[in-house]
Amino acid sequence: MSLNFTIYLVILVLAIVVLGASVRVFREYERGVMFTLGRYTGVKGPGLILMLPYIQQMVRVGMRTIVLDVPSQDVISRDNVSVKVNAVLYFRVIDADKAVIQVENFMQATSQLAQTTLRSVLGKHSLDEMLGERDKLNVDIQEILDSQTEAWGIKVSTVEIKQVDISESMIRAIAKQAEAERVRRAKIINAEGEQQAAQKLVEAAMTMATAPGAMQLRYLGALHDIAGDRTNTIVLPLPMDLLDAMSSRGKATPKP
């Protein structure tokens, strides 16, 4: 009786071990790449999966979006400025079988590819483009990475350049350049204002030349402004047309 009980107990333990090795439970965002005697036989999951122990092996792969921080890279821009650039990469596995079969470690491979692509793309642009056209550079890097990781069953959805660090001397040079640009714009605006004022003065002079009454009104306005000034001495300008009238009258008067 004791021997039979021992045999049954051993059989029960072996059954539990075999059953535990045969059953796999995969979450909704997980897939299992199945290999039977070393040969690929399909992708399983999610849910309850049964497999033959020691004959079949399964590699678990997550299908959720992965956030990968790209380390800071030393980049020399097209205008020979040395900068440090880091970025963040968002990608996910869309073909679990390719992510396991086509590349040994898709996380490490994607990280290394992102670093080299970041240096390659940014090295073709100037510092001003790195600072002012980040959206365009993000799209360019994302498209390149997506096309190269497609063979690994990976979809790169977003690439964001986080920070562009430059040296202190370059920061001072950029500040001087910005100050010079502001001075240039101020001078241009001032020159344009003087040009517009000169044009308006020419138009006013032409109007007064064709309308003598306008000159008289301008004269009266000047007198009003002078009268409002609290000074001891007031100089009244004498209109030229009055001098002409007096001169012509003197010539017309006959001598006795």
Q: What is the pLDDT of residues 24-68, one digit of tens each?
A: 889 999 999 999 999 999 999 899 998 888 889 999 999 999 999
Same-domain status, 44 and 32: yes
| Interatomic CA distance for residues 60 and 64, integer angstroms | 13
Q: How far is CA 218 from CA 97, 225, 227, 237, in A?
A: 91, 11, 14, 12
- Residue 38 belongs to what domain range? 2-62
Of the candidates 12, 45, 62, which is a domain's last residue? 62
Answer whether residue 238 is part of any domain.
no
Number of independent structural domains in the chain: 2
Give the list of residues 6+ apart from residue 142 with CB closer than 8 angstroms, or none: 156, 157, 158, 159
Same-domain status, 127 and 150: yes
Angle between helices 134-149 and 106-122 (to 10 degrees): 140
Q: What is the pLDDT of residues 188-203, one digit of tens each?
A: 998 888 888 888 877 7
Q: How long is the chain?
A: 256
Same-domain status, 30 and 106: no
pLDDT of 78 above 80: yes
Of the candidates 114, 137, 166, which is a domain's last residue? 166
Q: Tell me if the pTM is above 0.85.
A: no
Cβ atoms of 127 and 171 within 8 Å: the answer is no
Q: How far is CA 139 from CA 143, 158, 233, in A?
A: 6, 8, 75
Same-domain status, 58 and 81: no
DSSP assignment of 103-127 equals -S-HHHHHHHHHHHHHHHHHTTS-H
Q: What is the pLDDT of residues 90-130, one digit of tens each?
A: 999 999 999 999 999 999 999 999 999 999 999 999 888 88
**Helix (H), strand (E) at residue 186:** helix 168-210
Question: What is the radius of gyration, based on Cα positions, of the chain?
Answer: 44
What is the band of 178 on the pLDDT scale with cuts at 50, 70, 90? Answer: confident
Answer whether residue 220 is part of any domain.
no
| Interatomic CA distance for residues 153 and 111, integer angstroms | 15
CATH of the domain at 89: 3.30.479.30
pLDDT of 159 above 90: yes
Angle at 231 between CA 228 and CA 233, to 5 degrees: 115
What single letter denotes the amino acid at residue 79? D
Same-domain status, 86 and 125: yes
Q: What is the pLDDT of residues 229-249, one digit of tens each?
A: 565 565 555 555 555 554 555
What does the pLDDT read at residue 37? 92
Answer whether residue 57 is part of any domain.
yes
The average confidence (pLDDT) of the chain is: 83
Answer whether residue 195 is part of any domain.
no
Same-domain status, 132 and 40: no
